[in-house]
Structure formats: structure tokens, C-alpha cells
Chain A
Amino acid sequence: MLDSTYQPNNKPAEPLSSLERKYILLTQNGLPIIAQPYHWLAEQLAISIDNTLAMTKNLQERGIIRRIAAVPNHYKLGYRFNGMTVWDVEDSKAEEFGQKVGALPFVSHCYLRPRKLPSWNYNLFAMVHGKNHQEIAQYRSQINTLLSEILVNRKQQNDQPFKNCDMLTSTKILKKTGLRLKNKNTDNSKMETT
């Protein structure tokens, strides 16, 4: 049930039915820890258990639910190190190789993003996590091997070469909040970060 779905483009927001909005509002803070969580949900939605299971599967198929899963606290499991690896790769090959990088088991996010020359020449981003610095350095080196043939050798205006890869490690969390769908009945459906 891994969400390794490749999406060719930014999806437009899916229109949600009012029942689907209710589903999200009820579950976005988590499911109750009980033997029959979908029965609880069915009761809250005032629909049958069969419809609740079918609706859940449908939301998964449409990519609205990525997974129904537990999210571990990185630090408690010892994953204190994360690196945002960034790569300047040939545009024509970016999609093909982006998928390969995204398929590596230690990559949690992989995106194509725009360059902003001359201050930022990297277009492929891949996030890696590890328990120590050597571990994430090793992951970076594996990605480097995979991308070596499509890295761009770009010159700056002063003729100095640009670096074509880097890894930005995180030294401090400055802010971290979750995204929430707000209840339409209590305000103007403004999405908030809580």
C-alpha cells in the first residue's frame, strides 16, 4: 500500500462531495484506536459499513488518500539526519530519471522544480533520511551514481563552473505544522495550518 504513484502533473483539486469533506474532517486528526475503526466512521457518516469501505477504497484510488498508515516520529526512531539532495540534470531526461530516483527505497520525496539562474541551478530534488551523517552521505552517493550521465556542466558568467549537485542538511526545525481542512459550517472553508 505504498503511495508510489507517479503523477505527470500537478493535479487540479479534486471536487469533493459533502460526504467526502465530512470523511476528511472526521479523520484528518487520525482514526480512533479501536478494533473496528471503519465501523466508527460509518456511524459518524451515517452510512453503512460497506459504503464506508467502498468510499475509502475509492478515495485511495483517486489519490485523495495516499495511505492509511502510521506516521513515525523520525527522532524517536533515531532518524536525526535528513538531507535535501539537489541536482542539475538535463531537462529532457529529468522525468525519466526522476522516476528512478523516486523509486529508491531511502528517498521520501522527489520533485522536479524550476531553476532560478544564476542563484539556483538545481532542478531535481530528492529527500533522504538516515540515522547518521555517513548514512545520508552514502544515499547521496547512490543517487549520484544513478544520475551521473545526465548531470549538467554549466558555466557561470565569470566562466567558473556551477556545482551540479549538493546536499542541504537540516540543522534546525524552525516551524512545523500540519495542513488541515477546515469545517465549512464554521467558517468560509479557509484552509488553515494548525
Chain B
Amino acid sequence: MSLSYKDASKIDEIMQLDDQDKMLINILQRGLPVCEQPFVDIAKQLELSEQQVLNRLESLLDNNVLSRFGPMFDAACFGGAFTLAALQVAEENFDKVTDIVNGFEQIAHNYKRDHQYNMWFVIATESQQEIEQVISKIEQATGLDVLNAPKLKEFYVGLYLPA
């Protein structure tokens, strides 16, 4: 089931959080300990019971303040190939090209950005060969040249947003 929405800011209103929620979010963004009772230490830091921590975590997930909780896998380890690609799309064709590009199941993310290259998307496939195929199909369907910018080196991947 694919989740696709045009404007996330309309769905996601800013949430008012108390200090303990904020601390919990910040601690859990940094990581859950690998041990038998991983929430015990966190509960101590927050001066809450273990059960209260679990209740808060569950409600943060229910309210979509947290979008997920668990191991974050390096997708490259699943096998497969990835690239970041971009198109220069004329404004009057933007919706049409969006539909064409998003129509490929191999497109994982797609963002509109303010630049001559105004459409940026991640292609995720099983093989390098399939990346080339998707790019060439997008070029045929849109009549536009795809900028293919696969990562050559990775220096950091990790997001910490203090609540």
C-alpha cells in the first residue's frame, strides 16, 4: 500500500508536547539500549515508571509525532541499488510529469525543489541495471534528460531533531 500525499504540512500540524515527551523523543532518537529491559534506564531519567514511558511512547506513535520505532536498517544491506535523480520540468507540465514519475513503483521519494532542477527523486531497485532501465523509461515518457546522481561516498546519515 503506497502512502502518497500532496502536501504534508496540511496533515501534520505542530504538536504541543510536555517536557517529558520531549525528553523521551530526544532519548529515543539517539537510540534504544540493547538489553533485556531497555526502558528501565529511560524511565529513571524521566522520573516515570516503565509503564508510563511505554504509554507515552505508544501515544506519540498514535499521534504520529513519531513515525516509527525500531531498528533502522541500511537499505543497501537488503541488496538492490539506489540513486538520487532530478529533472528540469516546465511549470505547466509539472503535474503531468509528477504523475509519470510517481507512477514507477521504483520511485521511493519525490520532492519538488526550488531550482532549475525542480524535481528530485530517489530510485530504489533490485539491480543497477534496473536503475538504468527506469531512467531511460522516464526519459522516454517525459522527453526530459534525467540527472543521475548516485552516491559515490557517504559521510553521514542520521537525523537528530531535538524536540
- What is A's interface to B at a CB cutoff of 8 Å? 1-4, 6-11, 13-14, 16, 24, 27-31, 33-39, 49, 53, 56-57, 59-60, 63-80, 84, 94-95, 98-99, 101-103, 105, 107-114, 116, 119-120, 125, 129, 166, 168-179, 181, 190-194
Contacts and interface: CB of A to CB of B under 8 A. Distances in A.
A49 B29 CA distance: 24
B114 A168 contact: yes
B58 interface: yes
Interface of B: 1-9, 11-15, 25, 28-32, 34-39, 50-51, 54, 57-58, 60-61, 63-80, 84, 86, 88, 98, 101-102, 105-115, 117, 119-121, 124-126, 145, 147-161, 163
Contacts of B15: 76-77
B2 A194 contact: yes
Contacts, number: 301
A4 B160 CA distance: 11
Contact of B78 (A13, A38, A111): A13
Nearest to B39: A35
29 contacts: A3-B157, A13-B78, A27-B71, A28-B73, A33-B57, A34-B54, A37-B32, A59-B71, A66-B157, A67-B31, A69-B30, A69-B69, A70-B68, A70-B69, A71-B72, A77-B14, A77-B65, A101-B155, A113-B150, A119-B147, A125-B84, A168-B114, A173-B8, A175-B2, A176-B4, A176-B110, A177-B4, A178-B108, A193-B2
Given A53-B36, A171-B112, A72 B163 contact: yes
Nearest to A73: B67
Contacts of A173: 5-8, 109-112
A176 B3 contact: yes
A114 B65 CA distance: 36
A39 B36 contact: yes
Contact of B154 (A38, A64, A111, A129): A111
A175 B4 contact: yes
Contact of B158 (A29, A38, A65, A108): A108
A112 B155 contact: yes
A2 B158 contact: yes
Given A56-B34, A113-B151, A181-B78, A70 B25 contact: yes
* Residue of A9, A78, A173 with most partner-chain B CB within 10 A: A173
Closest 6 CB pairs of A and B: A1-B31, A102-B156, A102-B155, A75-B12, A70-B28, A174-B110
Contact of A73 (B54, B65, B160): B65
Given A33-B61, A75-B9, A168-B115, A68 B84 contact: no
Of B11, B84, B110, B152, which is in contact with the most chain A CB atoms at under 10 Å from its CB? B152
Given A76-B13, A76-B64, A78-B14, A110 B34 contact: no
Contact of A66 (B11, B74, B102, B153): B74
B72 A174 contact: no
A168 B113 contact: yes
Nearest to A129: B161
A179 B78 contact: yes
Contacts of A65: 71-74
B100 to A, nearest CB: 11
A21 to B, nearest CB: 9
